[in-house]
Amino acid sequence: MSAIDSSGGRRELAGLALIAFLIVAAFFAAMIGAKDAFAALRPADASVIELLKARLPKTKVSKVDCAVVGGLCEVTAGNNLFYVDRSGRYLVIGRVYDMETRQDLTATRLLEINPDTLIGGAAKANNAADSGEPPIAKAVGAGSQPTTPATPSRISLDGLPKDGAIVWGNPSGKTVTVFSDFRCGYCRALSNTLRSMNVRVVERPISVLGSRDLANQVYCAKNRETALHQAYAGEPLRNAATCDTSGLDANERFARSHGLNGTPVIVRADGAMIEGYRPKEALASFIAGGRS
């Protein structure tokens, strides 16, 4: 073998050795990274993840957090949210409400997962007939936000008394009636959007999330509009008073009789109704009676 051949062979062997080294190094780096990521999980979280892999193999779990609610683990699967006990045996579909802080924990978490999340009513189960697994909550209206309102249904507001309404916004603007709950984050988002629009809002509070006491305070305030926005902002209401709140009772009865179990519900002047938050452009189209 010539000196040139020998030198070329050594260079080739060296190149192959380097490639092999890099492959092995990358493999171990990946293994270490995966180990570190797994180690970052709390033991209970990691244990529940393994249990869910066995019991819900077709459900892609994004995150498990067993520190949010005592005795339950919060499970995120894409835009869906549900709960399991730490044994991974019992699956809970629905909303978790903190009665001490008066916060809808499920709604708050869903907004973090997907800011465009809609709220309709009670939790809806996914159609899992093809998966062979238990239905997982598309909890409290989780999903993609449409750019235009869904096809509205219709509802007559004729049975509602004048009392029970908090009227705010532009007195000469188009009127929209909103059934809302002051503990509902989606209602707060809707209120902020409507404030930026040239509309007259007739807001009718209903207590879906245990907010009746707060609704009473807002309704009995000297300046209802100011109190309404303070309530949505989580600010303390000043100059609390008492008054006749039978109008709020009428709102509650109307909501129950018409199956309005979630908030917000938006009703146009002609009775067209949509449920759930909508972005400004879609709201403007709906209120104007445009494409829906």
pLDDT tens track for 234-256: 998 877 789 999 999 999 999 99
- pLDDT score of 225 more than 60: yes
Mean pLDDT for 204-217 is 92
- pLDDT score of 125 more than 70: no
**pTM for this predicted structure:** 0.54
Sequence ranges of the domains in the chain: 43-141, 153-287
What tokens were used for 72? Answer: 């339950």
CATH architecture, domain defined by 153-287: 3-Layer(aba) Sandwich (3.40)
What tokens were used for 257? Answer: 């009789």
What pLDDT is stored for residue 243 in this prediction?
95
Q: How far apart are CA 229 and CA 93, in angstroms?
A: 32
What pLDDT is stored for residue 149 in this prediction?
42
Mean pLDDT, the chain, integer: 77
- CATH number for region 43-141: 3.10.450.70
What tokens were used for 281? Answer: 């452009």
On the CB side of 218, CA atoms within 13 Å amount to 32
Tell me which amino acid residue 53 is.
K
pLDDT band at 140 (very low <50, low <70, confident <90, very high): very low
Q: How far apart are CA 160 and CA 135, in angstroms?
A: 38
Task: Please state whether the peptide bond connecting residue 264 to the residue before it is cis, i.e. omega within 30 degrees of 0.
Answer: yes
Strands (E), the chain: 63-69, 72-77, 80-85, 91-92, 97-98, 103-104, 124-125, 137-138, 153-154, 166-169, 174-180, 199-205, 265-268, 272-275
Q: How far apart are CA 42 and CA 183, in angstroms?
A: 31
Examine domains 43-141 and 153-287 and report if their fold is the same: no
